[in-house]
Amino acid sequence: MNRRKFIRQAGTVIGGTLASPYIMPSGLMSMSTTAPMAEHVVFVLFAGGVRQQESVLQQYLAGSQNENVEGNIMYNMLSGAPPNDKIAYGRDDIQNNIIGAIPIDRILQTPLAEQGTLFPEVRFSKGGAGHYNGLSTGVSGNYELSQSLRARPASPTIFEYLRRHAGFKATDTWFVGVDIGGSRPLLNYSEHPDYGRRYGGNFLAPLTTFGAPGMKHFMDFKNYHPETEWEIIREIRGFLNQNFSTEGLEIPHLYNSEEEAYQIREFVRSTFEKVKANNLILPPVNDNRDLKAIGYAVEVLQWFKPKLLVVDLSDIDVCHANFTAYLKNVHRADHGVGFLWREIQRIPEMQNNTIMIVMPEHGRDLAPNPIQDLNMWYAFDHSTGNLNTRRIFSLVVGPGVQGNLRVGSESNPVGDAADIAPTIADIFGIKQQVIDKGLLDPAAMSLFDRI
Amino acid sequence: MQTSGKYFVIAMLIIGSLSMVACRRDVTVFGIDDLTILPINSEKNKPKTSAQYISVLYTNLFQRAIGPNDMLSAQKAIESIGDKQIAYDILVSKYMNDPTLVLPTNEEMRADPETFVRNTYTRFLIRQPTEAELAWMLNYINSRPNVTPELIYFSFATSNEHFHY
């Protein structure tokens, strides 16, 4: 065999191997599936609209309040020295009555930007910079410009793509919302006729489930025996449902199996016990809602080890009226993300096998509104048409992700807010199937294809 | 004279035509129309809102109306869990722990299971059971000593039919 023929034949074998279908864990097989890059993905929607100036640009007060103090208040995620003056983003110094004077200790010795790849200038390229638009775009990869607020996304969410094309079960996919406001409970599946509730992800708003409403109506719910009492309930209910078999008329469930439903009920029961015993997993500093939501997200991770968990944070949005509180919550969101990454590495099934993605749902205005806080610092909204609201970043970290890499710059933005859904599909090996459906925004593509 | 004769002819014509009509034989054609036989519960095709469901559920279980604050917090709790079957299962499980729940005793159910079944259908599904449903339920109760009114109430309360109106 001559050399040219050998290379040609070897190339055919290698090409055939690369093109051969990957059999998904569910047994589904397709020519367009490929081996997953990781077994788990955690996607953080960060965290109510953050300005580039106080995040990746690390301008602290210099980019907003005309004060010459710069520095990095997100040192778990980003590389860079913290501010050395006018510290107002940390914990309150109660003894000396100074708000935010004590910065929170870093959790990660190596910032995530050094462990992974940072896209510092991503664009929220279409539509108004509203929270629902941002969250919906994040989970669906489509801006849905005509979407109303109290409606499910019109395009499939990543939960539906994964359940339908990768064969994931319901408890493999979770959306942990910081609360039930802003139509968050509608983001776990779309209205698309080919997808929808049949492929929806599980949703949990833990601060409500385990807060006052849940304590009143869920806590200490009766513990029926799974093999005797529940069996009777299943049989009688099955008979009743069989006699009410009009298509589609059912309590809107998510096709969790009986075993999955049992696991969810037990998770709720177990978590209430932890709440009562003050034994929840929480970040070292947990003095806002976002950090508590992250603690509950870790509880979900520990219990279910899901393939995909999306958690959204929103306390940064106080920036509409209080810039100091905004700085504190940006600092805390970074603390929460660092804690989340540390806890993922403490779960044996997820350690070194999880890719985490962090992306703000949108930015905020360049110019302030007239509202001043106790420090006389001005607040910022997120207004339709303001170009600064379109400036966001994306951070990807985990196995197979190149470390210490920055892709793009202010003069050369790389990435779009609609990229995350195809990126997650790429990680789980179903990118081509998702693209072929033609339901993503035209600008959307896997971040791995942008490197 | 000519005029009266003319009237006479006209009158005779009218009487003649009336008598012809009156003498026509009625022909009745009997036929069979197509009729779709629907289940007894087929008119329940609208899902209840969470407020409607919780309100009806609470009334059925406690025989009194839920207060507005409890209603609001129950709605929030339900909204916080994505799978509504699981959320309602937990809610009903919680209500089953409430000592003010109005529930027949096991002895009452077993003393007259037919009345219990009929009352349960009426309470939760606003209708009487069909003969087939009644037979199935009576057989189920009589053949399983572990079946309790609580488990039957739970099943009815969280059934698809109870969620629709």
Check whether B156 has a pLDDT greater than 50: yes
Check whether A12 has a pLDDT greater than 70: no
Residue of A160, A197, A217 for testing the chain B interface, max B β-carbons within 10 Å: A217
Residue A388 included in any domain: yes
Give residue-wise pLDDT tens across range B1-47. Answer: 455 677 777 777 777 665 555 556 677 888 888 877 666 777 788 89
The crossing angle, in degrees rounded to 10, of helices B149-157 and A229-242 is 50
The closest of A431, A313, A358, A346 to A115, measured between CA atoms, is: A358
Residues A43 and A361: beta-carbon distance below 8 Å: no
| Size of the A and B interface in Cβ pairs below 8 Å | 150
Residues A368 and A312: beta-carbon distance below 8 Å: no
- Please list every residue in chain A whose beta carbon sits closer than 8 Å to the beta carbon of residue B45: 246, 249
Nearest-neighbour CA in chain A from B61: distance (Å): 14
The closest of A173, A147, A159, A149 to A40, measured between CA atoms, is: A173
Cβ within 8 Å of residue A333, ≥6 positions away: A46, A47, A50, A74, A290, A313, A315, A316
Residue B10 included in any domain: no
Give residue-wise pLDDT tens across range A39-50. Answer: 999 999 998 999
Residue A11's pLDDT is: 43
CB contact under 8 A, A251 and B160: yes
Q: Which domain holds residue A59?
A: 27-226+258-449
Residue A401's pLDDT is: 97
- The amino acid present at A393, given as its one-letter code, is F
Q: What is the DSSP string of chain B?
A: -HHHHHHHHHHHHHHHHHHHHHTSPP---------PPPPTTTT--SBPPHHHHHHHHHHHHHSSPPPHHHHHHHHHHHHTBS-HHHHHHHHHHHHHT-TT-----HHHHHHSHHHHHHHHIIIIISSPPPHHHHHHHHHHHHH-TT--HHHHHHHHHTSTGGGB-
Q: How far apart are CA B83 and CA A258, in angstroms?
A: 12
Cβ within 8 Å of residue A142, ≥6 positions away: A153, A154, A155, A418, A421, A439, A440, A441, A444
The tokens describing A200, both together, are 């929806």
Q: How far apart are CA A229 and CA A161, in angstroms?
A: 36
Cα B147–Cα B153–Cα B158 angle in degrees, nearest 5: 120
Residue of A173, A228, A251 for testing the chain B interface, max B β-carbons within 10 Å: A251
Give me the CATH number covering residue A36: 3.40.720.10
Nearest-neighbour CA in chain A from B83: distance (Å): 5
Range A350-354 average pLDDT: 97
- Please list every residue in chain B whose beta carbon sits closer than 8 Å to the beta carbon of residue A222: 93-94, 96-97
Residue for token digits 């079944």? B117
Residue A329 included in any domain: yes
Check whether A247 has a pLDDT greater than 50: yes
Residue of A202, A228, A235 with shortest CB distance to B82 = A202
Q: How far apart are CA A203 and CA A309, in angstroms?
A: 10
Residue of B40, B42, B48, B79 for testing the chain A interface, max A β-carbons within 10 Å: B79
- The amino acid present at A204, given as its one-letter code, is L
**Per-residue H/E/C for chain A:** CCHHHHHHHHHHHHHHHHHCCEECCCCCEECCCCCCCCCEEEEEECCCCCCCCCCCCCCCCCCCCCCCCCCCCCCCCCCCCCCCCCCCCCEEECCCCEEEEECCCCCCCCCHHHHCEEEEEEECCCCCCCHHHHHHHHHHCCCCCCCCCCCCCCCCCHHHHHHHHCCCCHHHEEEECCCCCCCHHHCCCCCCCCCHHHHCCEEECHHHHCCHHHHHHCCCCCCCCCCCHHHHHHHHHHHHHHCCCCCCCCCCCCCCCHHHHHHHHHHHHHHHHHHHCCCCCCCCCCCCHHHHHHHHHHHHHHHHCCCEEEEECCHHHHHHCCHHHHHHHHHHHHHHHHHHHHHHHCCCCCCCCEEEEEECCCCCCCCCCCCECCCCCECCCCCCCCHHHHEEEEEEECCCCCCCEECCCCCCCCCEHHHHHHHHHHHCCCHHHHHHHCCCCCCCCCHHHCC
CB contact under 8 A, B76 and A180: yes
Nearest-neighbour CA in chain B from A105: distance (Å): 32
Q: How far apart are CA A364 and CA A391, in angstroms?
A: 8
Residues A445 and A422: beta-carbon distance below 8 Å: yes
Residue of A208, A219, A261 with shortest CB distance to B76 = A208
Check whether A402 has a pLDDT greater than 60: yes
Give residue-wise pLDDT tens across range A288-302. Answer: 999 999 999 999 999
Domain count, chain A: 1
Residue A356 included in any domain: yes
Give residue-wise pLDDT tens across range A193-229. Answer: 999 999 999 999 999 999 999 999 999 999 999 989 9
Q: How do strand A40-45 and strand A308-312 relate by DSSP bridges?
A: parallel
- Please list every residue in chain B whose beta carbon sits closer than 8 Å to the beta carbon of residue A221: 90-91, 93-94, 97
Residue B12 included in any domain: no
Per DSSP, what are the bridge partners of residue A176? A204, A311
Check whether A303 has a pLDDT greater than 90: yes
Residue of B45, B86, B146 with shortest CB distance to A265 = B86
How many CB atoms sit inside 10 A of residue A78's CB? Answer: 21
What ipTM, to 2 d.p.?
0.91
Residue of B93, B151, B160 with shortest CB distance to A241 = B160
- Name residues 38-57 of chain B within 8 A of A (Cβ): 39, 41-42, 44-45, 47
Residue B18 included in any domain: no
Range A221-239 average pLDDT: 95
Q: How confident is the model at residue A13 (pLDDT cuts 50, 70, 90)?
A: very low
The closest of A233, A246, A254, A252 to B156, measured between CA atoms, is: A233
Range A326-344 average pLDDT: 98
Residue of A204, A216, A236 with shortest CB distance to B81 = A204
Domain count, chain B: 1
Residues A78 and A58: beta-carbon distance below 8 Å: yes
Check whether B96 has a pLDDT greater than 50: yes
Residue of B80, B155, B156 with shortest CB distance to A205 = B80
The closest of A340, A355, A348 to A428, measured between CA atoms, is: A355
Give residue-wise pLDDT tens across range A78-109. Answer: 999 999 999 999 999 999 999 999 999 999 99
- Please list every residue in chain A whose beta carbon sits closer than 8 Å to the beta carbon of residue B80: 180, 185, 204-206, 208-209, 213-214
Residue of B49, B76, B143, B156 for testing the chain A interface, max A β-carbons within 10 Å: B76
Residue A20's pLDDT is: 47
Nearest-neighbour CA in chain B from A54: distance (Å): 32
Nearest-neighbour CA in chain B from A134: distance (Å): 20
Residue A237 included in any domain: no
How many CB atoms sit inside 10 A of residue B62's CB? Answer: 15
Q: Which domain holds residue B82?
A: 50-163
CB contact under 8 A, A239 and B42: no
